Structure 1
Amino acid sequence: MSALSVTTAAPGAVVDPLTGPAALLSMSVGSVPLSDALAWTAIGAFVVAAVLQWSGAVDPARYLAAGAWVVFGVFWLTLAPHYYLEVKSPIETLLAVAALPLCVYTGYLLVRGRGSLLLLSKAVAFMGLIYLPVETIPVVKTWLIETTASQTHFGMELLGHSPGLEEGANGYQSRFAFDPEETVTGRTTYIITACTGIGSMAIFGGLIAAVKAPLRRKVPALALAVGVIWFLNLVRNVFIGLASPWGWFQQDFFVTIATEFMGAPADRTSYIVAHNFIAQSLSIVALLGITYLVLRILPEVLEPLEDVLYILTGTEYDLADALGQELRADGGERRSDGDPDR
């Protein structure tokens, strides 16, 4: 997922017209970009499938959810050129390409009768309902991007840097106005939607909303996930936002990798290393840690996660046993005296 990324913008840079595979990004259905149309279609189908399941029509729900997974996979595939040609992110490119076969396989399992995947489908529906409005409603998007930029700037000030904020290429007051004559690379960064952490928040929000559990445990689990993601996201933005202009990773070894193997300008090396290699790798570790903390509060989330592991490996897992938790009927943990937790 491109959650938490920062886009580099060189002063006066001109973006070449999209050609080849990248042209997928410019395709549209009417006035709606293709990727947005696919995303809304998939999420809408997931929501309808959840309603059908709730009303007792399980088989129609399975078939509709199966189709939604296929559309969802195609949506991610349309983003692969962007991650490869523009973001220069090997991790995000591989995930976007791998999403299609994994989503198709998920749909296949649903058609074959694996009804437990309806819970994972419902979780994706909630994820989309959290993320897509933020991405598509201008006032919400503006507030989130500019607030994140302001908070990131405050973090830079704590470290002795105060570049100020100006309008970025995306039209928001989100660009860190470093003087190109005073920095090492002459480049800077600006905040986009993916830099706000909303993608990661949507993942946990969707999982937590989908499972059956008391609110007294759902609310703390959600607050923990959102709070930790928000803090780590700001740390990540500050790190990338300073590494790029000040050339923290402009060593010859990294420059060779960025220019020879990734086709990037030499002065973009520090951004690529900080964002695509260091920050994205640490984000995976952080998400695993947050998942563990959420599971200690809300072990019901184990069920959709077990299905994710089954899709990836073809093997059934008992994560509750692996974590050493004894689960009661509704998924809650039992105390050592045998009484349900409160």
Structure 2
Amino acid sequence: MPFATAATGAASVVGYDLVGSATLSPVLAAAEGTTPSSGLLAWAAIGAFLAALLLASQGYREPARYLGAGAWIAFGVFWVTMVPYYYGEAQSPLKTILGLLALPLCLYTGYLLWAGRDSLLILTKAVACMGLIYLPVETIPFVKTWLIETTAAQTHFGMELLGYSPGLIEGSNGYVSKFGFDPNETVTGRTTYIVLACTGIGSMAIFGGLIAAVTAPLKRKVTAFALAVGVIWFLNLVRNVFIGLASPWGWFQQDWLVSFMTTYMGAEASRVSFLVAHNYIAQSLSIVALVGITYLVVKILPEILRPLEEALFVLTGTEYDLFEALAPEGTPARTDGGPDGEQADHDRDR
């Protein structure tokens, strides 16, 4: 997240990342804040996940477990390397905490897989699929440019609906994605620009990975994915407009809040509105959005509850039957034997 100095008056708007899923998704693996070595570590982990799944599909369960366990360890180490950035430059308490928790959670996941909990392979598959969705967007320049600049144009249109028309200019990231507010006319003298994280691609990759990992009729999988992407796109647009206006116009520049943030959080006074809007309000609401979108997707594709059950087991050590609790009425009983069953998915057609 390339924050510019006060002289340039720019700060990045970070897009709709469902941070509540940070330990399960590679959405920031090669995005702003990574070093070349940490980005390489993340992609190596994704590659190892895929190799482990290939071994498992060929019947080599034991080597698959060992390789998968190593991949989870590498994935956890990657998130720890992000903690200094989250704490320092990004000044995001929530992401800092999640980054710190990621290592023990990933280590424990790797241990469980190594010890023989093969049902975790579906969670491994989901994370690998998330990486496969995100990687082309990050590595193909024209796709990345199109996504960033299209998101910027849509965000600008949203601002125009509210009576603001700053125009779009080239930002320090090289994309025509910076909102051209006049620093002499705004409250804080700052403006914002769109980066890849603002596009919502990370959140889309999370749900895309979960949906791709399970076995279900194609029609329901496509419907669930379209619903998730549509809701994420809309909420991401609202979020970008909110942060993009709150930062220059000082919506949260109240004296008591500025004093608290500068004294105890080490923030620059002119960045307080941005930090409150982005790091506290938007990131907190993103967790609510994550739960809500998951609920909607489950109504269409209850099969995604299987990897979520595995995630809950890692977090709590308790087996859950989410299918029985949350699946829509009229859904046939699961055929995988419950949380302890060997079969990863339950087929259901409509």
Matched, 1:304 2:307: yes
CA contact (8 A) 2:4 2:10 kept: no
1:234 maps to what in 2? 237
Query: What's the CA shift for 1:12?
Result: 2.7
Partners of 2:241 and 2:2 in 1: CA distance: 10
**Identity between Structure 1 and Structure 2 (%):** 69
In 1: Cα distance, 2:270 partner to 2:210 partner: 40
How much has 1:27 moved relative to structure 2? 8.9
- Say whether the 8 Å CA contact 2:38–2:81 is kept in structure 1: yes
| Alignment correspondent of 2:142 | 139
Give unpaired runs (5+ residues) of structure 2: 12-31, 336-344
Q: Give unpaired runs (5+ residues) of structure 1.
A: 16-24, 334-340
Q: Is the 8 A contact 1:197 1:229 kept in 2?
A: yes
Check whether the contact 2:9–2:183 (CA below 8 A) recurs between aligned residues.
Answer: no
Q: How many residues align?
A: 318
Runs in 1 of length 4+ with deviation above 4 angstroms? 5-9, 25-28
Q: Give the distance between the partners of 2:34 and 2:214, measured in 1 at CA.
A: 36
Q: Is residue 149 from structure 1 mapped to residue 122 from structure 2 by the alignment?
A: no
Contact 2:10–2:193, Cα closer than 8 Å, also in 1: no
Q: Does 1:10 align with 2:13?
A: no
Q: Over residues 171-206 of structure 1, what are the superposed CA-to-partner deviations in whole Å (9 max), with x where a residue is unaligned?
A: 111111100000000011111111110110000000
Residue 186 of structure 1 is matched in structure 2 by 189
Partner of 1:331: 346
Q: Distance in 2 between matches of 1:173 and 1:285?
A: 31
Tell me which residue corresponds to 1:336. none
- 1 CA distance for matches of 2:3 and 2:165? 19
Cα deviation digits, residues 36-60 of structure 1 (max 9, x gap): 1101100000111111111111111
- With normalisation by structure 2, the TM-score equals 0.87
Per-residue CA deviation, residues 20-76 of structure 1 (Å, 9 max, x unaligned), is xxxxx9996xxxx01211011000001111111111111111111110000001111
Structure with the greater relative contact order (CA < 8 A, sep ≥ 6): 1 or 2?
A: 2
Q: How do 1:98-113 residues align onto structure 2 when only pairs under 5 Å count?
A: 98-113=101-116
Give the aligned partner of residue 170 of structure 2: 167
Partners of 1:145 and 1:172 within 8 A in 2 = yes
The amino acid that maps onto 1:285 is: V
- Per-residue deviation at 1:9? 5.7
Deviation at 1:126, TM superposition (A): 0.5
1:93 matched to 2:96? The reply is yes
Secondary structure at 2:163 match in 1: coil
Letter of the structure 2 residue corresponding to residue 196 of structure 1: T
Q: Distance in 1 between matches of 2:307 and 2:45?
A: 19
* Aligned partner (choices 52, 76, 88) of residue 49 of structure 1: 52
- Secondary structure at 1:189 match in 2: strand
How many Å apart are 1:93 and its aligned residue?
0.9
What residue in structure 2 maps to residue 252 of structure 1? 255
- Root mean square deviation, CA, Å: 2.0
Partners of 1:258 and 1:270 in 2: how far apart?
A: 10
AA in 1 matched with 2:155: T
